[in-house]
Structure 1
C-alpha cells in the first residue's frame, strides 16, 4: 500500500514518528509505515477554556464510543474486534488505505456517513491515506461535506499534519477557510498540532489568518498558547513577508 510522503511532527526536526498502526485491521497509516495516530485534539488547557460552560475548541470527535475516537486515543481495549474482510465497512477500509477501483464497480453511496456523520473521505484524510483520498475524489466524493461537528476532510488532514493529503484536497477545491461548529479553520487545527508544513501550505493557498473562533482566538494566538513553535515561526514569517511587500 502506498503512503503519503510527508507529514509534520512537533519535536525538533520534521521527521516520521514510528509506532504501532492504529487501524483495526493491523494496516499502516498513510504518512509513514508503522506511524501511530498521534493527534487526538484534546481539551484546550488555556484559561479561556477553563469555564465549563464554554464550548471547548478542537474536539472534532466528542462521540466517546466511536471506533475512530478509540483509534485516535489508542484505547486498544475499547476497539471493536478485528472484522472479517466481508464485514469491514468502506469507512474502515478507507482509513486503512485499502479501497481500490474494484470497490466502485457496482453503484455505492460514496458519501455514506457513519454514526459520527463521517464519510470514507473523512476517514482517509484523518489517516493520511493519500492514494485512497485521490481515488475517492476521482469517484466524486464530496470534498467539503461536514461531519456532525462541522469538520471537513481538510480539517482532519490539517489536524494530523498530513501535508500531501492536504495539498491534494486544496488542489481539488477544498474550502480553505471552512469553519467547524466552533468557528475553527483548518489553519487553526494545523497550528494547534504544530504542523508547519500544513500551516505554510494553507497560508500560501490564501487561508485567512485573521479569522477567530468562538473563543476569540486567532491562529497566531493558538500557536503561542500551545507552544507550537514551528507553526508560530511559519505564521510570523508569513506576516513579515506580507509587511515587506507593502513597503
Structure 2
C-alpha cells in the first residue's frame, strides 16, 4: 500500500454503499487524501455514479459535483449489529472458519460486492490472501463493473494491487463507464500503484466513456506524483522507440 496515502487508516469501516444521502452547499470532501477510507458506493448523485469513480458525464470537470465536495454523505459508523462477513473482511478480521460458514467465498452483500471487494478496498492484504486461498474470484464484478483490483487501485493499496495482479487480475479491465485501475490510481495520486500497473501492462492510451485517459485525469486532478510516474513511463516508451 502507498505508505503516505494510507497512514491515516481508521479502524471504523464505512459501508461500501449507503442510501443516506443529503445535498448541501460546497461541503469540502477530499476523497483522495482524507483520513477516511471511503469506497465504491459511499456517495451517489442523481446520475447514480458514485464518487468513487473518476467519472464525468455532462460536467466539465474530471469528477462529479459529489467529488468536488458539493454533496455530503451521511455515512454512520457501523454499530455492532452492522458487523457481518463483508464488513469484517474490510476490517481484516475474518478467519478460515468464517469463510467456511458462508455458502460461498464469493457470497455477495446486498449491493453485489464480495468479501474480496471489501478487503481490497480497505487494503487488508492478509484477508485478501486468505480469500484467494479459498478460491475467491479475482475479477468478480461489482454492481458498476468494479473489480477488486479497481478498488485497491482507488485506495492506493500497492501491496494488494501487486497481489491481485500476481493472481491474474485483468490489469486493463474497465468498469461500466470505461475506467481502468490505472485511471483510479492516477486520479487518486497513487504513484506506487501507477508504477506497478504500468509495469504489469496497463494501457496508458485507454480512455473512458468521457474520453479521459489516466494522464488526463492525473492532470485535471492535480495528481502530481502519479503524473510524474506516467510521464516517466511515456518518456521511456519514446526512448525505446528511437
Question: For the superposition of Structure 1 and Structure 2, which TM-score range results when normalised by the shorter chain?
Answer: 0.7 to 0.9
Matched-pair contact (CA < 8 Å) for 1:121–1:133: yes
Alignment-derived partner of residue 239 in structure 1: 234
* 1:82 matched residue in structure 2: 80
- Distance in 2 (CA, whole Å) between partners of 1:20 and 1:151 is 23
Tell me how large the CA RMSD over aligned residues is.
Answer: 3.2
Partner-residue secondary structure (3-state), 1:208: coil
**CA offsets 1:133-153 (integer angstroms, 9 cap, x no match):** 001011000110110100000
Q: Structure 1: which 5+ runs fail to align? A: 1-5, 9-13, 25-34, 60-69
Say if 2:127 is the partner of 1:124: no
Q: Distance in 1 between matches of 2:98 and 2:10?
A: 27
Please name the residue that 2:136 is paired with. 141
Under a length normalisation based on structure 2, what TM-score does the superposition of the two structures give? 0.76
| Separation in 2, partners of 1:124, 1:44 | 18
Count of aligned residue pairs for this structure pair: 209
Structure 1 equivalent of residue 46 of structure 2: none
Contact 1:22 1:37 in 2 (8 A): no
Counterpart in the other structure of 2:51 = 42
1:96 paired with 2:91, answer: yes
* 8 A contact 1:95–1:129 mirrored in 2: yes
Question: Paired residue for 2:13?
Answer: 23
2:150 paired residue number = 155
Aligned partners of 1:96 and 1:220: how far apart in 2?
Answer: 32
Counterparts in 2 of 1:124 and 1:236: CA distance versus 1, 3 Å: same
Q: CA deviation at 1:79?
A: 3.8
Q: Deviations over 1:184-207 (max 9, x none)?
A: 000000001000000000000000
From 178, 195, 220, give the equivalent of 1:183.
178
Report the Cα distance in structure 1 between the residues aligned to 2:102 and 2:94, rounded to whole angstroms.
Answer: 14
Kept after mapping to 1: 8 A contact 2:53/2:184: no
- Counterpart in the other structure of 2:205: 210
- What CA distance in whole angstroms lies between the structure 1 residues aligned with 2:120 and 2:221? 23
**C-alpha contact (below 8 Å) 1:57/1:184 kept by paired residues:** no
Q: 2:23 is matched with which residue? A: none
Q: Is the 8 A contact 1:46 1:225 kept in 2?
A: no
Shift of 1:92: 1.1
Residue equivalent to 2:29: none
Counterpart of 1:3 in structure 2 is none
Q: Answer yes or no: is 1:219 the counterpart of 2:186.
A: no
2:149 partner SS: helix
Normalised by the size of structure 1, how large is the TM-score? 0.74
Counterpart contact for 2:165–2:171, Cα < 8 Å: yes
Deviations 1:83-132 (A, max 9, x none): 3xxx7321111011011222244563111111211000000000000000
- Report the Cα offset of residue 38 of structure 1: 5.8
